[in-house]
A and B are shown apart, each in its own frame.
Chain A
Amino acid sequence: MKSLNLKAGLVSLLIFLAFLGIWYTATLPSPGTPVASTAGLSAEQIEYQKMMGKDPGSTKTTGFPTLGQMGAAIWKQVSNPLYDNGPNDKGILIQLGHSLARVGLGFLLACAVAVPLGFVIGMSPLLRRAFDPFIQVLKPISPLAWMPLALYTIKDSSISGIFVIFICSVWPMLINTAFGVSAVKREWLNVASTLEVSPLRKAFLVILPAAAPTIFTGMRISMGIAWLVIVAAEMLVGGTGIGYFVWNEWNNLSLTNVIFAILVIGIVGMLLDLSFAQLQKMVTYVE
């Protein structure tokens, strides 16, 4: 087992190095382009070159970044993650904080609605059928489709962002909770009935522990979706957050910073997923 892990790690490293290698060779300056030199150019041509950002000695940061530029950008952002230059220019950690707060709030709201509702739906076959068409219709709607409606009705962009996270992350939790609750083993419920346990006790002591792993699976999927949604929502609404950061750098056509942000989004998303996997493990038991 250990040697397999080691081998897998090695292969991962190799894939990563190969990826960097491809990036490096793909962004090498092609041999055809002459190095900026002022020899043989008229004064006007030199000035034109300068206007095009090809001033000898200065580096023009457009187009796909080289590995060196990428590393420099990452270092620049990571070395000063908490600066605050007013409303439109904040460090990466502050932006992440805003995004995580929004995601957290929207996600908690979704939990507060989805878990109880899922419980009720799971316990009653009638309600399950009655709710099913609504869930099926609302589930596949993209966050970007909700956004204009939210902005128009809620009339507040930050609450709209939270609402969109809520509305997109509520469905997996609802469906999983309902499924988990309805799939509790009949024998256990029968035992509970035989012992004449009160309905509330039955819900908390029998059904909830039995359905917990499924509910947490739903939460894990929802968290993934919420993190997916926040970037799109913040790109649309602007203001603060990692999505706004991406949009702002896109405004500047700075691919380097966009790639950096993508990297950060990916890592944070992975950490969120891992933490939910851990929670899931804690409530799972072996029969």
Chain B
Amino acid sequence: MSNRFDAYDADRPLMLRCACGQDHAPGEHDAAAASAQELSHSFMEASLVKALFPVDSVRRSFLRAVGANTARAAIASVFPMGALQAMAQDRGPLEKKDLKIGFIAITCASPLIMADPLGFYKKEGLHVQLNKTAGWALIRDKMINKEHDASHFLSPMPLAMTMGLGSNQVNMNVASIQNTNGQAITLHVKHKNNRDPKNWKGFKFAIPFEYSMHNFLLRYYLAENGLNPDTDVQLRVVPPPEMVANLRAGNIDGFLGPDPFNQRAVYDEVGFIHILSKDIWDGHPCCAFGVSDEFIQKNPNTFAALYRAVLGASFMASQPKDRDLIAKVIAPTQYLNQPEAVLQQVLTGKFADGLGNIKNVPDRANFDPVPWQSMAVWMLTQMKRWGYVKGDVNYRQIAEKVFLLTEAKKQMSLAGFKPPEGAYKKFKVMGKEFDPAKPEDYVKSFAINKL
């Protein structure tokens, strides 16, 4: 059977009417078609091409000029076609059932991890092996090497990888945000009486990775307090577990790191929680769940199933009532390998701050999976601000390509959750409003930067 909606045929007009010539929906004949799935794929592609080239003569001359394959590749590089197609056909047969997912042993990965013991993956027919990975650079490398099918990421990492910063250029996607908030600035106990950041000149801080919200938030916080993070303090990349050990040794003065290590520093009586990252930007994203473009294209149904599992876990984690259970199931050696008491304090938000007080902050760690593209734009502004990217940045294009918001919304509604409205949610960081429509003005508005 010939393809009725071949969007890449330069010799024929692109008809989105039914090919039988009648003016009814193209799906009418699907029951008779040899492969209904193929048909719906090409229909979706055709609609997309139609949207890109509303004037058919332009489409045809474009195709004649560059050839069908180039055109297909060019369009696929901008739109995750596989993902769109996966969305179109709700639940198809799984292309791949055994998956390897990488994670770093921190509470940010809670939804990804708890989905295993609580059976979210199994429910979707997936056999997932969760691989504890030794560091962020290795997470990056194992995704590039395709040792892992999907991974826990720091949310700026897929942006950096897609732009080819700090690695080969590989198209990565943020399918959902793993967690919001959940970080803190922890200082050594000897700084108990030195809480004003203006006096922190010469301090040594640890961050887990350069392309991390930790780095951007700490830099933001220091700069807002008049310190230049590149010249007034030292920022070192240190894996989270070693942050506590380095703090104990007095090798660093503090860190902006992931939990449970902030609470662990308190538990081990070497540090205290100066502020929660929530106090810098309430609702900031931190880690993400991501896959490569290639994985989505090859395994659209598996991707959709995986997506549903992770979204389900995220929604469960976002409700305070189950936090005790979550702390219990992710504490064993196989997952986080941490004392349950520490995890409980992190997740429930009722915690000892290391200064003798019990704080009660229920949203200390939260789990809101929506990959707002405005958040991606903010990360890009900070990369620009601190010199990680030079020259012009096409903020919107990169954000929309990497943060799969449309897919997230679609999967949410399929899974029975209410998807949010809009794409560019506005928010405030340390009281200053961020307008995602004017990223360049935002970058230039800071007194301390590296432009």
Contacts and interface: CB of A to CB of B under 8 A. Distances in A.
Check if A and B associate: yes
Interface of A: 44, 47-48, 50-53, 62-63, 85-89, 148, 151-152, 155-157, 235-239, 244, 247-253
Interface in B244-272: 244-245, 264, 266-269
Nearest to A158: B147
7 smallest CB-CB distances across A and B, nearest first, come from: A238-B134, A89-B334, A51-B352, A155-B145, A252-B337, A89-B333, A88-B132
Contacts of A252: 241, 333, 337-338
B110 to A, nearest CB: 16
A238 B136 CA distance: 12
Contacts of A88: 130-132, 333-335
B138 interface: yes
Contact of B358 (A51, A235, A238): A51
Interface string B114-140: 000000000000000111111101100
11 contacts: A48-B358, A62-B267, A62-B268, A88-B334, A88-B335, A151-B145, A236-B135, A238-B134, A244-B134, A249-B337, A252-B337
B134 A89 contact: no
Given A51-B267, A52-B352, 19 more contacts: A44-B358, A48-B356, A51-B351, A51-B352, A52-B267, A62-B267, A86-B130, A87-B334, A88-B130, A88-B131, A88-B132, A88-B333, A89-B332, A89-B334, A155-B146, A156-B145, A238-B138, A250-B245, A253-B245
Contact of B144 (A62, A155, A248, A249): A155
Interface of B: 105, 129-135, 137-138, 141-142, 144-147, 241-242, 244-245, 264, 266-269, 332-335, 337-339, 341-342, 345, 351-352, 356-358
Contacts of B130: 86-88
Nearest to B241: A251
Contacts of B242: 250
B141 A152 contact: yes
A251 B331 CA distance: 12
Q: Which of B245, B335, B337 has the most CB of A within 10 A?
A: B337
A70 to B, nearest CB: 18
Contacts of B131: 87-88, 238-239
A47 B348 CA distance: 15
A151 B129 CA distance: 21
Contact of B244 (A152, A248, A253): A253
A54 B142 CA distance: 40
Given A47-B358, A48-B358, A53-B339, A156 B147 contact: yes
Given A85-B334, A157-B147, A251 B105 contact: yes
A130 to B, nearest CB: 35
Contacts of B339: 53
Given A51-B358, A250-B241, A235 B134 contact: yes
A146 to B, nearest CB: 14
Given A85-B332, A88-B335, A52 B266 contact: yes
The secondary-structure label for the interface of chain A is helix
A148 B138 CA distance: 9
Contact of A86 (B138, B241, B334): B334
Contacts of B138: 151, 157, 236-238
Q: Which of B105, B144, B341 has the most CB of A within 10 A?
A: B341
The secondary-structure label for the interface of chain B is mixed
B134 A237 contact: yes
A101 B209 CA distance: 33
A248 B137 CA distance: 17
Nearest to B239: A251
B10 to A, nearest CB: 38
Contacts of B333: 85, 88-89, 248, 252
A248 B337 contact: yes
A185 B356 CA distance: 78
A236 B239 CA distance: 11
Contact of B269 (A50, A52, A87): A52
Nearest to B145: A155
Nearest to B263: A51
A53 B267 CA distance: 7
Nearest to A87: B129
Contact of A157 (B129, B142, B268): B142
B208 to A, nearest CB: 13
A51 B341 contact: yes
Contacts of B351: 51
A157 B142 CA distance: 8
Nearest to B116: A86
A120 B395 CA distance: 60
Contacts of B245: 250, 253
A80 to B, nearest CB: 13
A252 B145 CA distance: 28
A62 B351 CA distance: 19
B347 to A, nearest CB: 13
A253 B269 contact: no
Contacts of A85: 332-334
Nearest to A86: B334
A155 B105 CA distance: 23
A48 B245 CA distance: 23
A63 B147 CA distance: 36
Nearest to A240: B131
A235 B245 CA distance: 16
A253 B241 CA distance: 7
B427 to A, nearest CB: 31
Nearest to A152: B141
B258 to A, nearest CB: 12
Nearest to A251: B241
Nearest to B345: A51
Nearest to A234: B134
B301 to A, nearest CB: 24
Nearest to B268: A62
B33 to A, nearest CB: 40
Given A87-B129, A238-B134, A251 B337 contact: yes
Nearest to A154: B145
Contact of B132 (A53, A63, A152, A248): A248
A253 B264 contact: yes
Given A52-B267, A52-B352, A89-B333, A247 B134 contact: yes
B75 to A, nearest CB: 28
A53 B343 CA distance: 12
A50 B341 CA distance: 9
Given A44-B358, A85-B333, A251-B105, A151 B241 contact: no
A47 B144 CA distance: 47
A208 to B, nearest CB: 41
A44 B129 CA distance: 42
